[in-house]
Amino acid sequence: MSGIGLREFQDLIESIYYERDAARGLEGTALWFVEEVGELIRGIRRGEGRDYLEGEFADVLAWLSTLASLEGIDLAAAAAEKYREGCPRCRRAPCACD
C-alpha cells in the first residue's frame, strides 16, 4: 500500500471510518484529532522511536483526512492549490519570509 497519494488515502479513510465519524459529528471528530496530535507531540518530546512516531503521524493524517471529508474538502487538492506557488505569503520556495 505504500506510495498511494493523499487523495487515495483520504478515500481509504472514508471507506473505513466515514459513517462512524459522520455520526460523531465534526466537533467530536475534531476532539479525537486534537488528542492524536497530542500523542504525536508527546512522542516527539519523549524521543520515541521511529516505529512509534510513524504510527502517530499516520493517525494524525487519518484524523485530518476525516475532518476534511466531513467538510467535503479534497485535502490533496486544497493543499496543492494553496502551496503550488511556494509559500502562500512570499510565493517563494524555499520560503523567504522573516
Q: Which domains does the chain have, with CATH numbers?
A: 6-83 (1.10.287.1080)
The span from the CA of 84 to the CA of 80, in Å, is 5
Cα end-to-end distance, the chain, whole Å: 39
Q: How far is CA 77 from the centre of its chain?
A: 13
pTM, rounded to two decimals: 0.91
Q: Which residue matches cell numbers 502562500?
A: 88
The span from the CA of 21 to the CA of 28, in Å, is 8
pLDDT in tens, 39-88: 999 999 999 999 999 999 999 999 999 999 999 999 999 999 999 999 99
Structure confidence at residue 3 (pLDDT): 84
Contacts of 31 (CB under 8 A, 6+ apart): none
- Letter for the amino acid at 46? R
